[in-house]
Chains A and B, each alone.
Chain A
Amino acid sequence: MHVLQSKAPLIVYIDIKSPYAFVAIRPTLALEAELGMQFDWRPLTLDIPSYLGSAEKKKGKVVSSKGRSQRTWNAIRYSYRDARRYAERQGLVLKGTEKIWDSTLPNIGILWVMQTARDKLADYLEAVYPPFWRRELDIEDISVVETCLQEAGVDASGFAAFASGPGRALHDELQPQFHSSGIYGVPTYVLGDDILFGREHIPYIRWVLTGQKGPAPDIAYEIA
């Protein structure tokens, strides 16, 4: 699978552990429904410590931190506060994570749902994202991911084999292609030749997918 190629009008890259992706899910699903299209949703599992340093929290307090300057910390804190207020506008709860999770399994779950139950994708994202950001899910436990699949109405039998076999291979095939293709974070939208990071591009995406009528819109976080 090539990271920039799809038969769908739009590729959407997300990662369960990204707060930016979390607050982009519902607006992107809403756009998909509004346009009556099916987007190609795919996982991008972020390697956060490689570019933001790492940290671990216990009971809301940072107990270890590596490679983060004060400026980086301030920016991270602002980003979380910002994502949290937009999540709240969507009726969602966003609690800062206590560690940097390995989100490979629920991300392979996206591939599983796309291959076996495409019409359940929104349900799967709803079964995973909100509880994870309420700190209710151990997403590194495959049985937890299987339960999310079942809650979404997706048959989870075969998922374990998929996650350790072809699903893992597909996931791992995508990862090394991202940087060389100009993709570095989530949510990223691939729209023809455009690679757009962030949900602020949704107005532009809508404009393109509806025939570019009128002037091109600026970036904006649309509010309901």
Chain B
Amino acid sequence: MLTVYLDFKSPGAYLAMKPTLALVDRLSLAVAWQPFLTVERDVPKLGKEETVGESHRRVRAESQRRLAIKYAAHQGIELRFPATPGETDLALGALAVIESDPLPYIQASFDAYWQAHADLNDEATIRQLIDQSGATISTELSEVRDLLDAAQAQAEEAGIVGAPAYVISEQIFVGREHLPWIEEIARASD
């Protein structure tokens, strides 16, 4: 069993979908998709007077975006960051309570965020994504934020620090760059 933690607003999680699904298909892995709320920050503006720390954070954020766009292009994706990072709490809360195969909902939500810059904290948008993807959900959307809080606390307690995160054979890996090792573990435990 492979557990994958994701957040729809995480560019890394978005770009991890294709290679992760390829691995899952290749090895016929069972996957549990879990929500994990990440902190996505806008690229800080260049200040007239920056401390070394401020400069570091700005350059790092610019670099991370540039590289995400570059590798997205390798996947045939034109990655367009929204003007400011959106909130995804409601969409992630809904993911936590989907009773059917959540994959169509996950893919629809990623596309909605990254292609249409949809508001994934808006109830009408989430209802539309649920309907569009054929997901089954019996919990009221008004309740899912509390469930997300509980799932988040549990994930953090377990040592999850970002998304995409993978848990396999009790090992935690954050980032799709670990897929070779994850595949090695999956093959060994097959």
Contacts and interface: CB of A to CB of B under 8 A. Distances in A.
Verify that A and B bind, or say they do not.
yes
Interface in B156-182: 156, 159, 161-162, 171-181
A183 B66 CA distance: 12
Kindly list the 9 A-B residue pairs having the minimum CB-CB distance in the complex, ordered from nearest: A200-B177, A50-B52, A51-B56, A184-B59, A50-B53, A216-B74, A51-B53, A219-B177, A78-B161
Contacts of A165: none
A223 B172 contact: no
Contacts of A50: 51-53, 56
Nearest to B57: A51
A221 B180 contact: yes
A75 B55 contact: no
A197 interface: yes
A182 interface: yes
Interface of B is mostly: helix
B177 A221 contact: yes
A222 B53 CA distance: 31
A198 B60 CA distance: 12
Of the four ranges (under 10, 10 to 19, 20 to 34, 35 or more), the interface on chain B belongs to 20 to 34
Contacts, number: 71
A78 B172 contact: yes
B59 A223 contact: no
Interface residues of A, number: 29
Nearest to B56: A51
A75 B161 contact: yes
A197 B53 contact: no
B62 to A, nearest CB: 7
A78 B155 CA distance: 14
A47 B51 CA distance: 12
Interface string B131-173: 0000000000000000000000000100101100000000111
9 contacts: A50-B51, A71-B39, A71-B161, A74-B161, A78-B159, A78-B161, A182-B63, A195-B66, A200-B175
B174 A78 contact: yes
Contacts of A184: 56, 59-60, 63
Contact of A183 (B59, B67, B181): B59
Interface in A78-119: 78, 82, 85
Interface string B1-33: 000000000000000000100000000000000
Contacts of A183: 59
